[in-house]
Chains A and B, each alone.
Chain A
Amino acid sequence: DIVMTQSPDSLAVSLGERATLNCRSSQSVFSTANNKNFLAWYQQKPGQPPKLLVSWASQRESGVPDRFSGSGSGTDFTLTISSLQAEDVAIYYCQQYYSVPPYTFGQGTKLEIK
């Protein structure tokens, strides 16, 4: 199984500042067949289900603000929030869908306001 490890476990950032969340997979999730990374990012607010933010490591979902961006390839990935807003307080999870089943998630990064 591919193990997903996120860092840090928690992060406090001032409003308007940049937040950088990291995700590492235990093996590459890059497919040479279609030249894509099989990596998604989800946002989860209290009492809500996870919400898909980014797929294919860098493809923002429709309706997701452009302050969110995903990057990385192979085994190392980053979700960046360019200018933190109060509504971005949440737990963020990465997930691989390259080698499934099982689908595996990271343990999450809790993002708070400093």
Chain B
Amino acid sequence: EVQLVESGGGLIQPGGSLRLSCVVSGLTFSRDWMVWVRQAPGKGPEWISRINPDESFISYADSVKGRFTISRDNVKKTVSLQMNSLRGDDTAVYYCARVQTSPGPYFFDYWGQGTLVTVSS
């Protein structure tokens, strides 16, 4: 069974930092591209970052570039998102997802349940 389990969310003050993690099981992972997608309350999903298996191709949405950093540990089957200089508009549920690649990268076929980040004073 494929499982993606996010953790690390919570209430944080503006300007603060949080580190999200996503542990993956049931997938090869070391050959998988992974993404972080967020969804603000009542809004549609917004892709924010992508990482390839060896971390040689990393990209970010303009909305988080320079503030967020994606990384991965293929031994621990974990993808992480370091979020700095958090703002109110970063408040959202954050999902990790696997990118289908054949060869890809294409669409997002497996998603975690998400972790809520609330930025507020």
A and B: real partners?
yes
Q: B114 contacts which chain A residues (CB < 8 A)?
A: 49
Contact A52 B108 (CB under 8 A): yes
Closest to A6 in B: B44
Q: Does B59 contact A (CB under 8 A)?
A: yes
Contact A52 B109 (CB under 8 A): yes
Contact A107 B44 (CB under 8 A): yes
Interface size class, chain A: 20 to 34
- Closest Cβ of chain B to A7, distance in Å, is 14
Among B44, B45, B106, contact of A38 (Cβ-Cβ < 8 Å): B106
Please measure, in the bound complex, the distance between the C-alpha atom of A54 and the C-alpha atom of B61, giving whole angstroms: 24
A55 in contact with B111 given A104-B47, A107-B44 (CB within 8 Å): no
Q: A48 contacts which chain B residues (CB < 8 A)?
A: 113
As a 0/1 sequence over residues 100 to 121 of chain B, the CB contacts with chain A under 8 angstroms (1 = contact) are 1000011111011110000000
Q: A18 contacts which chain B residues (CB < 8 A)?
A: none
Number of B residues with CB within 8 Å of any CB on chain A: 22
A103 in contact with B47 given A38-B106, A49-B113 (CB within 8 Å): yes
Q: Does B72 contact A (CB under 8 A)?
A: no
> Could you list which residues of chain A lie within 8 angstroms of chain B, going by C-beta atoms?
38, 40, 42, 48-52, 55, 61, 93, 95, 97, 100-108
Greatest chain A CB density within 10 A among B46, B105, B111, B114 is at B111
Contact B47 A102 (CB under 8 A): yes
Contact B109 A93 (CB under 8 A): no
Q: Does B29 contact A (CB under 8 A)?
A: no
Please measure, in the bound complex, the distance between the C-alpha atom of A95 and the C-alpha atom of B100, giving whole angstroms: 14
Please measure, in the bound complex, the distance between the C-alpha atom of A12 and the C-alpha atom of B50, giving whole angstroms: 36
Question: Can you pick out 24 interface pairs between chain A and chain B where the beta carbons lie within 8 Å of each other?
Answer: A40-B107, A40-B108, A42-B45, A48-B113, A49-B112, A49-B113, A50-B95, A51-B111, A52-B107, A52-B108, A52-B109, A55-B100, A93-B44, A93-B45, A95-B107, A97-B105, A100-B50, A100-B105, A101-B50, A101-B59, A101-B60, A103-B50, A105-B44, A106-B44
